[in-house]
Amino acid sequence: MIKKSLYPILLATLTLFSPADAQVAKWQSGLLVDEFVVEKPPFPESHAATIAETPTGLVSAWFGGTKERNPDVCIWVSRQEKGKWLAPQNVANGILNDSLRYACWNPVLYQIPKGDLLLFYKIGPSPSRWKGWLKTSSDGGRTWSTAKPLPDGFIGPVKNKPVLLANGNLFCPTSTEGDGWKLHFEVTPDFGKTWRKVGPISDGRTLNAIQPSILVYGNGKLQILARSKDRALVESWSTDNGETWSPLAKTALPNNNSGTDAVTLKDGRQVLVYNHVLPPGDLAKGPRTPLNLAVSKDGKSWSAVVILEDSPISQYSYPSVIQTSDGLLHVIYTWRRQKIKHAVIDPAKMKAIPIENGVWPALEGYAAPVAKENTKE
């Protein structure tokens, strides 16, 4: 007979090692850390996280409040000290004057080499009407400067991190949603003091894409991968450090009309984090589960590596991925719109299986759960 005092422990153990967890564990080679940034956030919803490595440790940011688009949604920052995430700080709000307040949106962190930590974010009633803002920190995210608006018509990186090119240009991948979904780049040679634009590189009608990530191949060769309404991730290539780009084209990888992110590893491989979900029928939008990680040597042929989350309960979305100075991969993402999750992966321990014809490969003993819902933007 089991003593009553042991029931909570037994229940926790059964929950921790549920059949679903045991199955998805087969796809988690190299996963070292799987944790919440904040166990009990002081607000109902969290979304659109970003992460950066600073000289004093990791820093994450996201927008949180009662609900996306509500005026009380602010930008929150959490720093990691001694391996533990600290309580989040409210570092930016959408108060424009005594009578006008909008929601904050899509923070993006970028650490200038041997310089300040940049925090890009947006304020506005909607993605088609928001404006870009910038704050800086000289102490690894402990304190922040006064907010400064970006020049009219500029919003900074829309979701995913900028890339510092060998020519000194900080290339910010960005997009607009007002007159069709269009991709462009905002370029600063002096970390935010002056700006210029490249593009748009799409017309917002042939293919509808937003929120690109930049991958780097050397000798001026770049690739973007972007979210789309066209049931596939889309790509474009540049051979002149981003000044001109090839026409947008669909990749073989599916997209559920949800955000993705990608990063170039120090060894030259490319890593992509996304929902490997083909929407049902001819729909453009699909469930935001599972959340997957794939790897490629050339940006064309991809291999399945890790499933970070897999549950019939959506959503796991809007990832941000970086490689830190110790070589490890850090992914931060939305967990069911309630919390922000942080995962650490050792690239040396990843086991890759080729993705053929856009289908995530089968693995003996693993059966993906069927998503029960298709949720929010």
Structural element, H or E, at residue 46: strand 45-54
Q: Rounded distance, CA 125 to CA 23, Å?
A: 42
Q: Rounded distance, CA 309 to CA 175, Å?
A: 27
What does the pLDDT average to over 336-362? 96
pLDDT of residue 57: 97
Instruction: For residue 287, give the CATH number of its domain.
Output: 2.120.10.10
27 inside domain = no
Report how far apart, in Å, the C-alpha atoms of 219 and of each of 166, 216, 263, 271 are: 9, 9, 17, 20
pLDDT range class, residue 369, cuts 50, 70, 90 = low
pLDDT of residue 48: 98
Q: Can you give the residue range of the structural domain that contains 119? A: 33-354
Token pair, residue 336, equals: 């069911």
Give the number of domains in the chain: 1
366 inside domain = no
| pLDDT greater than 80 at residue 11 | no
| pLDDT greater than 50 at residue 14 | no
129 inside domain = yes
302 inside domain = yes
28 inside domain = no
| Segment 109-167, tens digit of pLDDT | 999 999 999 999 999 999 999 999 999 999 999 999 999 999 999 999 999 999 999 99
pLDDT of residue 367: 65
| Segment 82-104, tens digit of pLDDT | 999 999 999 999 999 999 999 99
In this structure, the dihedral spanned by the alpha carbons of residues 246, 267, 158 and 148, taken in order and rounded to 10 degrees, is: -120
pLDDT of residue 374: 44
Structural element, H or E, at residue 20: helix 19-24
pLDDT of residue 372: 54
